[in-house]
Amino acid sequence: MEIKQHTVNICHSCHTAELSSAPAERYEFDIHTHTIASGHGSSATITDMAKAAAAKNLKMLGISDHGPATLGGGRVSYFRNLAYAQKERLGVRMLYGAEVNIIDREGHLDLDDSVLEYLDYVIASMHQPVIKPGTEDENTEAYINAMKNPYVTVIGHCDDTKFPVDYFRLFKAAMEHHVLLEINNSSLSPEGYRGDTKFNDLLILNLCCHFSYPVLFSSDSHGTKHVGDFTYAADAAKLAGVPRSLILNHSAKAFLSFLDGR
């Protein structure tokens, strides 16, 4: 399959100059966030989340609650109703998506296409105990098969050390299917529970640099506390020398164009 071309062109020899002349980081959006509908730990409503995004000066916020296979996750009726939710709250542009579960090696998801087609975007992730970690080959296949679903926009926290993957194969498939791999701030946080993911995140970030393919930072905030917080993701990207122009979170417009281009 032909790999799509992207508008971002980077001169690799310029990375250092670009980074050193960059203004203080300002991010415009976060699309991996969870409300009370995800069923664990948070009592935040969508409006609470919008308030937190406005307080962080975000222009856009995406709500991505867990799919129904997660214990206490969103019901199908919740995701269907998102089509009628307000497109703007407290001056923040709202996107409504889901963090669906990859439920088997064939890449099947826990929400049907008839639900996914009305969402703004879809993050597909592997979570225990919904799916048991397989071998590197099996996990890579499961992610790649999920990417073949045309509604899948992002692969969530594929830095998880419990689900080893072949990052080169995964990245090539992401480019072919026009899917983003996220750098999940909560994985990299000292409170993270996916093992020491830094090496895996650096592999992904180096591939982004090498192929000049954009990357997405995600807070994975459960509740309002970490909305728009990309502290650790940004540190990893800096270490890998990722140019600012490849980090989609600097521009809500760039992310919306990415979605439109799919």
* CB of residue 11 to Zn ion, shortest distance in Å: 35
Backbone angles phi, psi at 52, to 5 degrees: -65, -40
Give whichever of 88 and 104 is closer to Zn ion, judged by the CB atom.
Answer: 104
Tokens of 97: 């998506």
Please tell me whether residue 99 binds Zn ion under the rule CB under 5 A: yes
* CB of residue 42 to Zn ion, shortest distance in Å: 11
d(CA 123, CA 54) in angstroms, rounded, equals 23
* CB of residue 221 to Zn ion, shortest distance in Å: 8
Interface with Zn ion (CB under 5 A), residue total 4
Give whichever of 185 and 251 is closer to Zn ion, judged by the CB atom.
Answer: 185
Site string for Zn ion, 139-178 (x = CB under 5 A): -----------------x----------------------
| Type of residue numbered 37 | A
Give whichever of 140 and 184 is closer to Zn ion, judged by the CB atom.
Answer: 184
What burial class does residue 13 get, using C-beta atoms within 10 Å of its C-beta: 0-12 exposed, 13-18 middle, 19+ buried? exposed
For residue 184, is it left (φ>0), alpha (ψ between -120 and 50) or beta?
beta
**Contact (CB, 8 A) for 182 and 236:** no
Closest by CA to 134, choosing from 165, 170, 107, is 165
d(CA 248, CA 257) in angstroms, rounded, equals 10
Give whichever of 209 and 227 is closer to Zn ion, judged by the CB atom.
Answer: 227
3-state secondary structure 76-104: HHHHHHHHHCCCEECCEEEEEEEEEEECC
* CB of residue 241 to Zn ion, shortest distance in Å: 27
Give whichever of 110 and 220 is closer to Zn ion, judged by the CB atom.
Answer: 220
Site string for Zn ion, 201-220 (x = CB under 5 A): -------------------x
Please tell me whether residue 125 binds Zn ion under the rule CB under 5 A: yes
Give whichever of 220 and 229 is closer to Zn ion, judged by the CB atom.
Answer: 220
Interacting residues toward Zn ion by CB under 5 A = 99, 125, 156, 220
